């Protein structure tokens, strides 16, 4: 810090001196300055009696006039003296001024020369300091072609495999890569070669970058980390130059690991660019391909990369010899979520009543990042409430906050609207409880959160990867339970079920056009989606069927929705007394969950439910709200990967919530 201050102070001092010297050199000559003249002026001044003393220094003669401070200077010819010059001019000896001899100073000429060069020296020095400072701060102006990769040495404390949970299969694959680097002779003796590259694939938040950091901590070799977007600049050729510099550094530190995060920024299909087939991004990709598997294949450098869009990567990047392995990191199952919660809860003071198994079951579809956020939110809530330990109440509320957002205490509903919301949410829960293939309800709330006026959250008995037609039918009936309850009680339904209708219609159409679950059209798929690889998103759906088939698809979707509607209506009409009682409890308590909700739903008609022992009152907990369904929602189905069943999408996968009007 002090050294930097001194350098900057010296720089400012140089600038100030340069300004003073330049200004001084351009000042007009004053009366006290020396004026160069000829010897004729000296002779004239002596004749006029204006000179009393003359000083001779070598061949230079200086004098002053009596009436002025102006000093004059002249030069003598070789062999001449002042007296001889004056005598030759006819001036008698008695009229000549006093002549003082002064020893010559040869360094004066050198000093004058240095003073004249001083501005130039100062300017050169300032430029030199500026350039040194620019290089010391990694200025982009001088380092366009230098790689921006960050080198992580094995001596630095980093994350290890013990800090990563829920992805056991991926950890095993990467442990093998670490062994390749630590004990190469073990594999070389069997003729095995080190994998050139490992591609980490998975949805956002599943721990791809965290796993790469764990490899860096375990490998004990240099680890270069860079993002795909850091290669490309506005100047042509910079990306390829940075790739060359990165691999040159890696070869000098071999064996080592290079990690490229979000490689899809530079690894998309070539020839798919909107502005041409050979742009800067493609030059960068070409250089990566050459460096990974070009003529020089003897280096012991492993390349790791992470992406959540493997479908848009160039095929040349994915072939064996470049990325030999593709490690899939999916959203964790119940066991994985339990392990992740343990990792993030490590070192935090938890209350004895905290049950991580229940939390793991409440969070289907949560990624590792979602679970880390959940634990952090619970800790923040406990600190806000002045507690010394994090309790189950904070964790339950944190689940609701992550899914649906914070509680909106300022949103006040009238008695009528509040009653509509209560019947709507009770309808969802009651239909899901009665139907055998629907997930059992875990929590109902009519407290507004986010954009929803209330929500119903479910607790799946197990993680599902495959769904049947009967399960879809019960899920659709549960989605429409809120609409049917409103219509049954009030004679018409409101705008609240808008989101339920949207999701139900989408699921019914998927059953017909994608999953082949239509009795009328049979096991067939209809429509083919098209997308621009460069944009990475669907832009259209090509219809590969006739208008007649389109009408039949619409009719089949209508029949599926109608069947779900009538199923929900039948359930609610048969359990009307239980529905009314559940609504009364909701209006009184605003939130019902867990064993209390289960007792209310299982109580025989006309009997009071056997409620569990009362628990100490807790701060009103935001109730898990029904998802806004912009991302894959509760029962929304996400496109399946080849060889796998479709998956539920995201943390919202077990929530039904009301639309903005509620």
- Which residues are the active-site residues? 425
Report whether 272 contacts 161 (CB < 8 A): no
Residue 492 CA to residue 13 CA, distance in Å, equals: 83
Residue 173 parent element (H or E): helix 168-182
Per-residue buried b or exposed e for 468-477, using 16+ beta carbons within 10 Å of the residue's own CB: eeebbbbbbb
Report whether 407 contacts 445 (CB < 8 A): no
Q: What angle do CA 589, 623, 372 make, to 5 degrees?
A: 145
What order of strands is seen across the sheet that includes strand 591-593?
591-593, 441-445, 455-458, 655-657
CA distances from 497 to 128, 406, 516, 591, 626 (A): 71, 21, 27, 20, 11
Residue identified by tokens 């019947």 is 423
Residues 6+ apart with CB under 8 A from 294: none
Strand partners, 73: 36, 62
Q: Tokens standing for 643?
A: 């060889």
Q: Is 271 left (phi over 0), alpha (psi -120 to 50) or beta?
A: left
Strand partners, 34: 71
Report whether 232 contacts 265 (CB < 8 A): yes
Q: Tokens standing for 392?
A: 């189950």
Q: Tokens standing for 549?
A: 């088939």
DSSP secondary structure string for all residues of 537-568? EEEEEE--S-HHHHHHHHHHHHHHHHHHHHHH
Report whether 35 contacts 71 (CB < 8 A): yes
Strands (E), 389-523: 441-445, 455-458
- The pairing of beta strand 197-201 with beta strand 655-657: unpaired
Q: Tokens standing for 202?
A: 């998975």
Residue 572 CA to residue 427 CA, distance in Å, equals: 7
């Amino acid at each position: 810090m002090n050294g930097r201050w001194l350098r900057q102070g010296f720089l400012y001092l140089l600038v100030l001196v340069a300004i003073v010297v330049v200004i001084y050199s351009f000042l007009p000559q004053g009366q006290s300055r020396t004026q160069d003249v000829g010897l004729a002026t000296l002779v004239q001044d002596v004749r006029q009696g204006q000179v009393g003393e003359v000083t001779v220094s070598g061949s230079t003669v200086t004098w002053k006039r009596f009436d002025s401070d102006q000093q004059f200077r002249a030069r003598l010819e070789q062999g001449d003296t002042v007296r001889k010059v004056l005598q030759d001019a006819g001036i008698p000896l008695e009229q000549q001024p006093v002549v003082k001899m002064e020893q010559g100073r040869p360094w004066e000429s050198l000093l004058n020369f240095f003073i004249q060069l001083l501005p130039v020296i100062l300017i050169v020095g300032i430029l030199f300091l500026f350039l040194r400072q620019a290089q010391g701060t990694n200025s982009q102006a001088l380092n366009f072609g230098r790689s921006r990769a960050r080198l992580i040495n094995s001596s630095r404390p980093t994350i290890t495999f013990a800090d990563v949970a829920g992805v056991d299969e991926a950890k095993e694959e990467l442990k093998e890569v670490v062994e390749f680097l630590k004990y190469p002779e073990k594999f070389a003796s069997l003729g095995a070669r080190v994998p050139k590259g490992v591609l980490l694939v998975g949805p956002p938040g599943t721990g791809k970058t965290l796993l790469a950091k764990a490899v860096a901590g375990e490998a004990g070799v240099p680890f270069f980390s860079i993002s795909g977007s850091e290669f490309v600049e506005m100047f042509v050729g910079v990306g390829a130059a940075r790739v060359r510099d990165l691999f040159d550094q890696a070869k000098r530190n071999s064996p080592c690991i290079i990690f490229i995060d979000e490689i899809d920024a530079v690894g998309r299909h070539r020839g798919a660019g909107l502005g041409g087939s050979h742009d800067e991004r493609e030059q960068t990709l070409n250089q990566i391909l050459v460096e990974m598997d070009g003529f020089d294949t003897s280096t012991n450098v492993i390349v790791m990369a992470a992406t959540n869009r493997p479908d848009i990567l160039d095929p040349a990047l994915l072939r064996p010899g470049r990325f030999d392995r593709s490690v899939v990191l999916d959203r964790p199952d119940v066991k994985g979520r339990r392990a992740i919660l343990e990792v993030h809860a490590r070192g935090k003071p938890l209350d004895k009543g905290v049950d991580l198994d229940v939390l793991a079951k409440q969070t289907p579809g949560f990624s590792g990042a979602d679970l880390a956020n959940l634990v952090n939110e619970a800790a923040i809530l406990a600190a806000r409430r002045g507690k010394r330990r994090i309790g189950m109440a904070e964790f339950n509320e944190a689940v609701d906050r992550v899914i649906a957002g914070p509680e909106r205490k300022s949103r006040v509903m009238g008695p009528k609207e509040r009653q509509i919301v209560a019947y709507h949410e009770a309808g969802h829960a009651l239909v899901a409880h009665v139907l055998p293939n629907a997930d059992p309800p875990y929590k109902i709330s009519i407290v507004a959160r986010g954009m929803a006026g209330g929500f119903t959250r479910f607790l799946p008995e197990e993680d599902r990867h495959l769904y049947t037609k009967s399960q879809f039918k019960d899920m659709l009936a549960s989605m429409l339970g809120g609409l049917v309850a409103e219509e049954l009680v009030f004679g018409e339904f409101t705008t609240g079920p808008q989101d339920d209708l949207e999701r139900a219609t989408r699921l019914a159409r998927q059953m017909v056009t994608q999953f082949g679950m239509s009795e009328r059209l049979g096991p067939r798929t209809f429509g083919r989606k098209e997308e621009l690889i460069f944009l990475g998103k669907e832009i259209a759906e090509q219809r590969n069927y006739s208008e007649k088939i389109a009408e039949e698809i619409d009719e089949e979707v209508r029949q599926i929705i109608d069947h779900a509607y009538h199923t929900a209506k039948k359930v609610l009409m048969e359990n009307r007394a239980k529905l009314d009682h559940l609504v009364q409890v909701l209006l009184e308590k605003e939130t019902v969950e867990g064993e209390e909700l289960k007792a209310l739903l299982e109580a025989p008609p006309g009997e009071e439910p056997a409620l569990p022992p009362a628990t100490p009152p807790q701060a009103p907990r935001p109730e898990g709200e029904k998802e806004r369904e912009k991302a894959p929602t509760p029962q929304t189905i996400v496109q399946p990967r080849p060889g796998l069943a479709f998956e539920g999408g995201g943390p919202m996968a077990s929530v039904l919530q009301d639309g903005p009007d509620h």
